[in-house]
Chain A
Amino acid sequence: MKILVPVKRVVDYNVKVRVKPDQTGVDLANVKMSMNPFCEIAVEEAIRMKEKGVAEEIVAVSIGPAQAQETIRTALAMGADRGIHVTTDQTVEPLAVAKILAKVVEEESPELVILGKQAIDDDSNATGQMLAALLGWPQATFASEVEKDGDGFKVTREIDGGLQTIKVSSPAIITTDLRLNEPRYASLPNIMKAKRKPIDAKTPEDFGVDIAPRLEVLKVTEPPKREAGVKVESVAELVDKLKNEAGVI
């Protein structure tokens, strides 16, 4: 079985981004970038399936600027076998990403695509589901447990009320949630080895996909600021304030 893992380069989760004064976006100059944490979980899951003998090959694909290659290298250092880099400097919305990925799937014929449930920059939570629809495949989103089951997969999903288990036939789309696994760190020898693994360079035009955005960003603003309040000295004072000042109890 071949597994395709789309990985996105995003602002590191530890960075608190700042809105640019001219309201055109957030300031990404000199900001630490990393692989989207949910994508790391996706790569890890694919590697574990390979280690269990369920999968033979893992292909990491990223759509983005030249530096997205580093993100693919990270996936290769973790254990993916090869990469595909679709280079573009434009913003690519989830729909366009899904369309490109659908073309990659056509060429690569994987039996499984594992994506993150959400990119922590745009917070869209859409790409995996869109890809599933474009391909006409079943999906299992927000996975916290994945098991090969006959000719498909049994997946436990994190939902608002608790956990849900579903079965999807192969080929399928899975998106990862936080509890699926703990991604490994790449070892130094594996980072060295990853440098020799192949990365195919492509462009959106190679796939004939129009990536023009459908959403025009009119402005990006700061969220309303919360003023820090007061420190109370005791629980009794806290209860008094909640009752008599804030009136919430």
Chain B
Amino acid sequence: MAVLVIAEHDNASLNDATRAAVTAGKALGGDIHVLVAGKNAGPAAEAASKLDGVAKVLHAESDHLEKRLAEAMETLVLSIADGYDAILTPATTGGKNFMPRIAAKLDVAQISDITAVESADTFVRPIYAGNAMMTVKSSDAKKVITVRPTTFEKVGDGGSASVETIDAPAPAASSQFVGEELSKSDRPELASAKIVISGGRGMGNGENFAIIEKVADKLNAAVGASRAAVDAGFVPNDYQVGQTGKVVAPELYIAVGISGAIQHLAGMKDSKVIVAINKDEEAPIFSVADYGLVADLFTAVPELEAELGKVGY
């Protein structure tokens, strides 16, 4: 058994989701190689070589790979796929973008967003916004898998794998990078933060998110949102938590002015502790909340900031 994990990274550093994919890869058994494809991605390759349990890092460099565009990733991974029985990558927007291309060219079914590895050919994945869990057995010779990062432990450092440079063949079809508008924030990343505080339509407008941000700054928390808050333009798209946004599973999730639609719950119900602040005591969010506070958020959230101050935050 040989397993290839395709790293998620931004060239300069390795994304934590990669560590979860390595854990899933280990559960399959066998040697683990990590592919770092990028441009000036030396630091990310270096970080990958330190991951615990990784036998080898393959490092590919090219202009096409700088933003890991799907067509270039397909060509590159196909050039080395022969040597592997399983290929995994985190189910981030990056992995979701390129991985199915690889599966299709290998003529195998992609097993999307797995939450558990039962054996080398049997996996669990959520369907219907996580309202059901499906256990599937793959009959394909090669497994192509995307891994839900929140449900696997993140491997630590401790390895010292060799880094081997490999060629990056030019892609046949190609898209062209034009630009990007990345949300800048000094707060922790939504996907890996220990505490997340999210606002919904109840926030009323974008300016009002300031009261949430103040609490976030005290707790070193990430800020998230419901789809309704993103659609209304209160906050950028990458704040969206849910079935079709980001899946998070922090130690503490605080939902403010969010009703708790199934699509939202799909993205946060695996959090360790859930707090809901909502003025409607019938709101479905309370059915998953460990601590529910029926209150107007415009008084409760500033009060929360003040109370946190009293206990040393």
Contact = CB atoms under 8 A, between A and B. Distances in A.
Interface in B257-313: 262-263, 269, 272-275, 281, 286-295, 300, 303-304, 307-308, 310-311, 313
Contacts, number: 264
Given A17-B132, A217-B135, A159 B238 contact: yes
Nearest to B111: A215
B220 to A, nearest CB: 10
A93 interface: yes
User: What's the dominant secondary structure at chain B's contact region?
Assistant: mixed
- Of the candidates B129, B137, B243, B300, the one having the most CB atoms from chain A within 10 angstroms of its own CB is B129
Interface string A24-54: 0010000000000010000000000000000
B251 A248 contact: yes
Interface string A118-138: 101111111111111110111
Contacts of B100: 94, 125-130, 133
Interface in A65-106: 93-95, 98
A154 B178 contact: yes
A121 to B, nearest CB: 6
Contacts of A144: 237
Interface residues of B, number: 93
A131 B110 CA distance: 13
- Of the candidates B104, B262, B288, the one having the most CB atoms from chain A within 10 angstroms of its own CB is B104
User: What's the dominant secondary structure at chain A's contact region?
Assistant: mixed
B43 interface: no
Contact of A166 (B102, B178, B263, B303): B178
B195 to A, nearest CB: 7
Contact of B127 (A123, A177, A214): A123
- Of the candidates B183, B236, B291, B303, the one having the most CB atoms from chain A within 10 angstroms of its own CB is B291
Given A162-B238, A167-B178, 12 more contacts: A94-B100, A123-B128, A130-B101, A142-B97, A158-B237, A160-B238, A166-B176, A215-B137, A220-B134, A228-B288, A231-B294, A239-B307
